[in-house]
Every structure is written in structure tokens, then in C-alpha cells.
Amino acid sequence: MTSGVVIKHCRPGLLVGMAILLLVVFWPGGTARGDVQVVPHTVRVGLAQNMPQVSFVLQGDYKLVNIHTGQVIAGDGEGRWTVEYAGGLCRVLRNGEHVGLYNGPIKAESLDAATRAVLSGDGTLIYKDSLAGLVVQGYGASAANLYDGKAGLYALDASGQAKQLSRGGLNIAAVEKGGQLKHYRGNIEIRPSESGLTVINELPIEQYLYGVLPGEMPVSFPAEALKAQAVAARSYLITQLGSYTSYGFDVLDNQSNQVYLGYDGENPATNLAVDATSGMVLVHRGRPVAAFFHASSGGCTENSEDVWFDSLSYIRGQDDPLDYNIKHYDWSLSYSGDELVALVNRQLKKYINEFTELSAITDLRAVEYTASGQRVKKLLIEGLDAGGGLQVYTVANADRVRSVLGLNSALFTMQKETGAGDIISRVTFTGNGLGHGLGMSQYGAAGWASQGYSFQDILQYYYTNVKLVENYGA
């Protein structure tokens, strides 16, 4: 037997509405109202936790410091460093040789670029806050641009010591993670805990965003879409600062907050988008907003309370006609009866304290939709336990529905096949979109940008009753 749930198409005719809306949008220049919160300009990113040891190489000007005492362990960062967890302490090794045992945390501190000096043509030392753009003359009158990041180039630091340049003269820490060296701007801090070492990257917010944008949006997207993403990511970050204070950092480097690729992921297009919107955030009632975003809306976004639980007045649903893309539309996923049972049992255990496992599923039914009428907000699951008893579970809201069913989005139709005893033998889901469907659709943003809309227009469309302000809303 085969049955299906039919979901209506998203409402048409919004292109004209968008044009009318944007005619009356006003984006204030200058700073926000005085009641906007003041925020720091740096962020601490958790890169790894509970590590038995951490190895890293420092490229540029660094010193190694024991934060607990302020002791400078090494005035330069040359060599390969390893910090081992030693029962709540940090054992530090340099090139494999023991340096000392410290309470920690241990910090590889990036020195101010202004400490660098270069020798000018008339023999005087000139101090530079950046080495980019300088040219050095080598053997045989050959010249090389320092910003090329060529290996083997050197400059003098403030003490007259020759330092090898790397990656355009930037200070970069290469941290071993997952068997590979990952490169990061800023400082690296290693903190001992009860169960291992925590690795933290501390750096300016704008430099952090350099590593976030290419992890969250394709770098090939139009410039105005990338700028909109930069503002959304910056705004979201401000609301997340301090989320993991008890662990010593603000945010994680993954989808729990935002995907952060570090220096390795940086791209000129996304760096330019960050620079073009430097310090700009969205505020609502004078405070930065958690500017949620997702890959593809499937044709419409949603109200926050339909997807999660809290009602946020700046996250309201919109039709999204320019979101259409081949990659995330008309997807399909099929489960056998046994696969469905295993999936549902595994997922429901996460949300229900007293959960009785199912041995078979007899019905899977959408009983409520979101305000748009498109996403499944509430799902009814009926099945039999090992003893043949009937078990009924209700799943809400939309994001939990997609999680329990392992789907790209909660905007789907389903076709059920049943066998003996009306037990579901197979179910096939077909749908549109990728992600929770709240706030800005990234493919939608690309669509609006391709039609000539600015990043300000895009942000105003996806976020309700917000203002764009500078200097992080300070």
C-alpha cells in the first residue's frame, strides 16, 4: 500500500513585494543608540578539547608565556613545540627536548608587528607595522616581494635578530589537529583541565571572520551575498561571545557555532567582504541579533518558534523565490522499515528520557505545519514495542522533525509502503532546501545579489525590524 502527504507550494508573487519593500528601507549611518551593548573586539575559539598532547610550529614573531605566573618560557617561538598533559600540569618540549613543567595555561603570544624593523637603502632601520609590499634584494641583484610569502626570506626584529618570514610576514601558528597542521592567525593558548588539554585560538574578530566566511558560504557567490554573510556572521558571533566561558573560550570552531577554517581557508573574495563591512552588525531594539542563516530555504523561511521554540521578533518567515538551486531542491531519501526503526530509536533517545524502543513502525504522520504551511512542525510516530504494545510519540518542532528523520530540511513529502499488519516496510521522503530555514538563506542571498540587490537590501529582507550599525553596535 502507498500513501502520501501533499505539501502546498510556497506562495508566488513576492518579487514585486521585495521591490516595494526595498524602496522604503532606511539604513542609518554612524553609530547605534546609546543603549547598544559594548562588546570586545577579540574572540576566543575552542579548537580542541581533552587532548593528551598538542604540537605546534610558530611562524613569525611569537613568545611562549606561562599565563599562571607571567613567566616568559621562550622569547622566540622558533622550533617545534609540544605541550603534554601531565596530571593537570603542562609539560613543554621544544624540538623534542624537555623545557619545563608548568601550571599553565601556556600561551604562544603573537608579538605586535610594529616590533619588526627593516634596513633601508641608506642603512637606517625603519620600523614597519606590516612587511607586506616591501621588496628585498638578494644575491645577483635579484628581488623578491615579501608579500609573496616566499620561503627563505628574512627581516630584522627590534632586537636585531634575523627572523624568517612566512605567509606575507604574518604571525601564523601551525597547530597539529587530526594528524595535519592547521594554520591560525593570532595567539594559541593551551589550558590544562581535569581530562586533558584545551586548545584555544585568540584573535581579532575581523580576522576570525576571514576564516568563517569561506566555511559557511561558497566563495564563488556574488560579492553582495558575501557581504551579507559577513554581517550575519559577525552579528551572530557577538551574541555568542562567552558561551563557553567555563571552558576558557567563547565559541567552538564547528557548526555548534560557526564553521571556522582558520588561515588555511581564507580567500581573497571573502576577506574583501569582511573588510568592506568591518564592524557592521544588525541590531534589534539596540542590541545585536543572533542572525541565523542556512544554506537553502526551499522556497520560504520560517518564524523562529515554529522551527525551534523561542519567539524572536526579528526572525519572521518570508517567501524566498530566488532561493531556487539545483543542488538543494528535489532531493530524495528512502529508508527500509528496519532502517527507519533503527534511526527513530536512535534519535528519540536523545529527546525522551523514558523512551521505549520500537520494534516496528505502523504510522508516520504530519499533524501540524509551520506558519508558512510548508514545513512539518509536528510529527506523529506510532509503533510497536518488543512485546507488541502500541507506543505513540509526538515530535516537535520543525528542526527536531528533520533531525529525527535524518533529512536535509523539514520541507518534505513522504510516500509510505506498508506490509503485513500495516507495518511500514519503506518510506521515501522528497523535499527542498537544506538547513533549519531561519533567517537568511545563503542561496537566496546569492539570488537576490545576482538581481542587483545590495547586501543591505538582502539583510533587510531576511531579518525583520533590524538596523545596520557600525563599530559592533558600540
Higher per-residue pLDDT: 471 or 201: 201
Q: How far apart (Å, rounded) are the C-alpha atoms in residues 6 and 11?
A: 15
Q: Taking a C-beta distance cutoff of 8 angstroms, is the pair 315, 387 a contact?
A: no
In contact, 42 and 187? CB cutoff 8 Å: no
Residue 473 confidence (pLDDT) above 80: no
Residue 52 has pLDDT above 50, yes or no: yes
Cis, peptide link before residue 397, omega less than 30° from 0: yes
Query: Residue 406, SS3?
Result: coil
How far is 376 from 414, CA to CA, in rounded Å? 11
Q: Where are the domains of the chain?
A: 2-11+328-431, 53-109+174-195, 113-169
Task: Tell me which of 17-26, 200-209, 344-353, 384-393 is least confident.
Answer: 17-26
First to last CA, the chain: 61
C-alpha–C-alpha distance, residues 245 and 91, integer Å: 24
What does the DSSP assignment read for 132-184?
TT-EEE-GGG-EEEGGG--TT-EEEETTS-EEE--GGG--EEEEEETTEEEEE
Write the DSSP symbol of residue 464. T
What is the Rg, in whole angstroms, of the alpha carbon atoms belonging to the chain? Answer: 27
CA distance 217 to 454: 17
Compute the average pLDDT of residues 99-109.
94
- Between helices 205-216 and 223-240, what is the axis angle to 10°? 120
- What cell was used for 36? 547598544
Q: How far apart, in whole angstroms, are the C-alpha atoms of residue 447 and residue 323?
A: 6
Give backbone dihedrals phi and psi of 84, rounded to 5 degrees, phi first: -105, 145
Most confident range, picked from 72-81, 134-143, 208-217: 208-217
DSSP 3-state percent helix, strand, coil across the chain (nearest 5):
25, 35, 40
Helix (H, G, I), strand (E, B) or coil at 66: strand
User: How far is residue 458 CA from its own chain's centroid?
Assistant: 20
User: Is the pLDDT confidence value at 22 over 50?
Assistant: no
Peptide bond just before 105 cis, omega within 30 deg: yes
Q: For residue range 227-279, what is the model confidence (pLDDT) as tens digits?
A: 999 999 999 999 999 999 999 999 999 999 999 999 999 999 999 999 999 99
Between residues 16 and 52, which one has the greater pLDDT?
52
Phi, psi of 305 (to 5 degrees): -70, -20
Element (H, E) at 307: helix 304-307
Residue 474: the pLDDT is 73
Query: Where does the pLDDT of residue 123 fall: very low under 50, low under 70, confident under 90, or very high at 90 and above?
Result: low
Is pLDDT at 391 greater than 80 in this prediction? Answer: yes
Q: pLDDT tens digit string along 178-193?
A: 889 999 999 999 999 9
How confident is the model over 304-331, as pLDDT tens digits? 999 999 999 999 999 999 999 999 999 9
- In the beta sheet, which residues pair with residue 414? 429
pLDDT score for 263: 97
For the chain, give the percent of residues with pLDDT over 70.
79
**Confidence label for 28 from pLDDT (cuts 50, 70 and 90):** very low
Please tell me the predicted confidence (pLDDT) of residue 368. 97
The pLDDT of residue 108 is above 80: yes
Q: Pick the residue with more confidence: 439 or 11?
A: 439
Q: d(Cα 474, Cα 41) in Å, to the nearest integer? A: 11
Question: Which of 3-17, 122-136, 291-305, 322-336 comes out lowest in average pLDDT?
Answer: 3-17
pLDDT of residue 353: 86
If you average pLDDT over every residue of the chain, what do you get?
A: 85
Q: What are phi and psi of 225, to 5 degrees?
A: -70, -40
CA distance linking residue 264 with residue 97, whole number of Å: 29
Whole-angstrom CA distances from 447 to 44, 222, 294, 330, 437 are: 33, 9, 14, 18, 16
Nearest to 187 by CA among 89, 282, 67: 67
